[in-house]
Chains A and B, each alone.
Chain A
């Protein structure tokens, strides 16, 4: 009990740190993931190639390696003054975007081809076809896999703790350095992660239910 009560504000900071990283990365991942999925089914070959490269590269690179690139190469070569939260968000967000893109693409593939053809025949542009006709119909198949992708993301943000971000995993390290009982620290940290992943789970259950009813 001591660990928690003695360090309540640190725990709180870690909890919200993880939450903020997860939330921000999830937004980046969804926005980028949907765009990349669009690239992969677009009629423009260079976009398709870019989309395929993006997914292949990011999905098959260890996240830790991405963090190393984000924190040691990006500041040196491109942008020197990005803060560690932003860099961590980009690393986690881009990494997760590859998984989101695959989920969205397989969702797109469940929508009959005739839907997109009818849309194009009416005069919709490619973006309109995606936005108005295909993606809304793909949502139902995309939402369930997104839930597990975001839970994985929550746990992946722990790596950011080793890179100058305060979040749950980082807090656990600080506390064990302070000499608290490791077992107790892990108990509370695990509980905090569970709260977040359960919340994500619940949120998606709700969304799935909504989508079922909307039919």
Chain B
């Protein structure tokens, strides 16, 4: 017993930090979209990012895997700073799964191929192994029967679940979700949220930009509220929703909780 606690204590502070943003700034022309962003996400944590439209949530999400470059500040994943564009960045991106609002499945590939391609071309897995894993993941997200169809033949909810499977196939350390349910018809939102809930329960580290307050309440460890390019407030969901501290958050919550 004592030994266990000793080894636990021996972990240096910050060793469990998976995604670290320090003093990150970005402009789009004159618009200061990310202002002095400091954010640390620890292993296994589920962080929900909310905030009004245009507050910089997507930009923050995309900066984490450098789909969007930043002008100043440091971003590191699992202790490694984000490299410049090139092979090293590609390798690092493979460890960061991303799910887009508009799914972005490869239109010319079947569902199965979508989930296999990254494994084969990036992870250099054998075809047979990649297929076994892909089928397993498709089964896990509930679209196993659609494996041989093309993305356009699937409903939005199904496509998004395939997109999640495609990201999971790379064994990512962290998953980024940028409004994964915003493009979906209401009846399909839950099937995607359920998959995400399960992922969260399985211990996946997740950054989720969403307006789904139900998901935030039930799955998030922490809510990050953004407004005008700043992180205005961070709190556990319970506290944030029942007792927001900032006026911006109060104002925002009163608007979205009305309907």
Show the binding face of A for B, using Cβ within 8 Å. Answer: 43-44, 112, 114-115, 117-126, 128, 132-133, 136-137
Q: Is the CB of A121 within 8 A of B93?
A: yes
The interface residues of chain B lying within 8 Å CB-to-CB of A125 are 86-87, 90
Q: Is the CB of A124 within 8 A of B118?
A: yes
Q: Is the CB of B104 within 8 A of A115?
A: yes
Which residue of the partner chain B has the closest CB to A125?
B90
* Bound complex: CA A118 to CA B104 (Å): 6
The interface residues of chain B lying within 8 Å CB-to-CB of A126 are 85
Show the binding face of B for A, using Cβ within 8 Å. Answer: 65, 67, 85-87, 90-98, 100, 102, 104-108, 117-118, 121-122, 163, 166-167, 170
Which of A43, A114, A136 is within 8 Å of B100, CB to CB? Answer: A114
Q: Given A43-B85, A114-B100, A128-B121, check contact A120 B108 (CB 8 Å).
A: no
* Bound complex: CA A117 to CA B87 (Å): 16
The interface residues of chain B lying within 8 Å CB-to-CB of A43 are 85
* Bound complex: CA A117 to CA B167 (Å): 13
Top-4 shortest CB links A-B: A123-B94, A118-B104, A114-B104, A121-B98
Q: Given A44-B85, A117-B67, check contact A122 B104 (CB 8 Å).
A: no
Q: Given A120-B67, A120-B93, check contact A115 B106 (CB 8 Å).
A: yes
Q: Is the CB of A122 within 8 A of B122?
A: yes
Which of B87, B92, B106 is within 8 Å of A119, CB to CB? Answer: B106
The interface residues of chain A lying within 8 Å CB-to-CB of B166 are 122
Q: Is the CB of A124 within 8 A of B105?
A: no
Q: Is the CB of A137 within 8 A of B108?
A: yes
Which residue of the partner chain B has the closest CB to A136?
B108
Which of B96, B107, B121 is within 8 Å of A121, CB to CB? Answer: B96
The interface residues of chain A lying within 8 Å CB-to-CB of B170 are 122-123
The interface residues of chain A lying within 8 Å CB-to-CB of B86 are 125
Q: Given A115-B107, A136-B108, A137-B107, check contact A122 B118 (CB 8 Å).
A: yes
The interface residues of chain B lying within 8 Å CB-to-CB of A115 are 104, 106-107
The interface residues of chain A lying within 8 Å CB-to-CB of B100 are 114, 117-118
The interface residues of chain B lying within 8 Å CB-to-CB of A136 are 108
Which of A114, A120, A132 is within 8 Å of B117, CB to CB? Answer: A132
Which residue of the partner chain B has the closest CB to A214?
B108
Q: Is the CB of B104 within 8 A of A117?
A: yes
The interface residues of chain A lying within 8 Å CB-to-CB of B91 are 123
Which of B67, B90, B92 is within 8 Å of A124, CB to CB? Answer: B90
Q: A123-B122, A124-B90 are in contact. List 14 more A-B contacts (CB 8 A).
A: A43-B85, A114-B100, A114-B102, A115-B106, A117-B104, A118-B106, A120-B90, A122-B167, A122-B170, A124-B122, A125-B86, A128-B121, A133-B108, A137-B108
Which residue of the partner chain A has the closest CB to B121?
A128
Which residue of the partner chain B has the closest CB to A122?
B118
Q: Given A121-B65, A122-B170, check contact A133 B121 (CB 8 Å).
A: no
Which residue of the partner chain A has the closest CB to B120?
A132
* Bound complex: CA A115 to CA B87 (Å): 19
* Bound complex: CA A43 to CA B117 (Å): 23
* Bound complex: CA A174 to CA B93 (Å): 63
A130 CB to closest chain B CB (Å) equals 13
Q: Is the CB of B121 within 8 A of A124?
A: yes
Listed by A's residue number, 11 A-B pairs whose Cβ atoms lie within 8 Å are A112-B104, A118-B98, A118-B100, A118-B104, A121-B93, A122-B93, A122-B167, A123-B91, A124-B90, A125-B86, A128-B90
Q: Is the CB of A133 within 8 A of B118?
A: no
A142 CB to closest chain B CB (Å) equals 14
* Bound complex: CA A137 to CA B105 (Å): 13
The interface residues of chain A lying within 8 Å CB-to-CB of B118 are 122-124
The interface residues of chain B lying within 8 Å CB-to-CB of A123 are 90-95, 118, 122, 170
A141 CB to closest chain B CB (Å) equals 13
B124 CB to closest chain A CB (Å) equals 11
Which residue of the partner chain A has the closest CB to B97?
A121
A132 CB to closest chain B CB (Å) equals 7
The interface residues of chain A lying within 8 Å CB-to-CB of B87 are 125
A46 CB to closest chain B CB (Å) equals 13
B259 CB to closest chain A CB (Å) equals 29
